[in-house]
């Protein structure tokens, strides 16, 4: 059993497990293309204009700078994307992120008071958006780059509604206290 199944209770049902939308990798991908093109240009210029050891050390320097920029701007973004998890179960919403410092939040369905989403024109074209989860006791929590945010919003709303109906039906039973005392 892998993640996130090993983080769930025995009878908890996984409804959704998602990473952020791929749009958060768009800028790192463009950075990779640009840095690679510039490095190729610099190596080509060094090959054409320099001789001997100077050419070798220039090519090595360009490759080291290229590698450092790719790891810093592209690799870190990819790791951040891969280590961010948005999970919905039949009982709660879980958000986990981080590599060295792992951070998470669990929101029980019964504590959610409202669910909203927001997405602009570009987000609608890409099928992503911001999910806003409201709780009566806390400030709203916003999660950017949720893939298929409208479907997630609808699913989460129905789960919250079902949890509210279940809580209401249990607390409205007049004979509940009497049954509990007889046992």
Helix H, strand E, coil C: the string for the chain is CCCCHHHCCCCCCEEEEECCCHHHHHHHHHHHHHHHHHHHHHHHHHHHHCCHHHHHHHHHHHHHHHHHHHHHHHHHHHHHHHCCEEEEECCEEEEEECCCCCEEEEEEHHHEEEEEEECCHHHHHHCEEEEEEEECCEEEEEEEEEECHHHHHHHHHHHHHHHHHHHHHHHCCCCHHHHHHHC
Residue 141 confidence (pLDDT)? 87
Residue 168 confidence (pLDDT)? 64
The answer to whether residue 4 sits within a structural domain is no
Number of domains in the chain: 2
Both 49 and 119 in one domain: the answer is: no
Both 70 and 122 in one domain: the answer is: no
Give 10-residue mean pLDDT values along the chain (183 residues).
Answer: 73 91 94 97 93 92 96 93 92 89 88 90 93 83 92 91 71 52 47
Say what the pTM is.
0.76
Residue 167 confidence (pLDDT)? 64
Q: What residues make up the domain containing 92?
A: 11-20+85-172
The answer to whether residue 2 sits within a structural domain is no
């Amino acid at each position: 059993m892998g993640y996130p199944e090993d983080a769930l209770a025995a009878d908890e049902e996984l409804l959704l497990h998602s990473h952020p939308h791929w749009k958060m990798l768009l800028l790192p991908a463009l950075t990779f293309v640009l840095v690679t093109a510039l490095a190729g240009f610099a190596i080509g210029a060094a090959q054409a204009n320099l001789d001997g050891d100077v050419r070798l050390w220039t090519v090595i320097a360009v490759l080291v700078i290229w590698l450092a920029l790719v790891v810093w701007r592209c690799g870190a973004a990819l790791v951040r994307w891969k280590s961010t998890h948005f999970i919905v179960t039949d009982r709660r919403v879980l958000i986990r992120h981080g590599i060295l410092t792992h951070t998470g939040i669990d929101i029980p369905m019964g504590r959610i008071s409202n669910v909203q989403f927001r997405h602009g024109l570009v987000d609608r074209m890409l099928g992503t958006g911001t999910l806003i989860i409201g709780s009566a006791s806390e400030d709203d929590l916003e999660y950017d780059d949720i893939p298929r945010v409208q479907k997630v919003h609808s699913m989460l709303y129905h789960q919250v509604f079902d949890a509210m109906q279940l809580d209401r039906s249990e607390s409205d039973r007049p004979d509940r206290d009497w049954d509990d005392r007889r046992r």
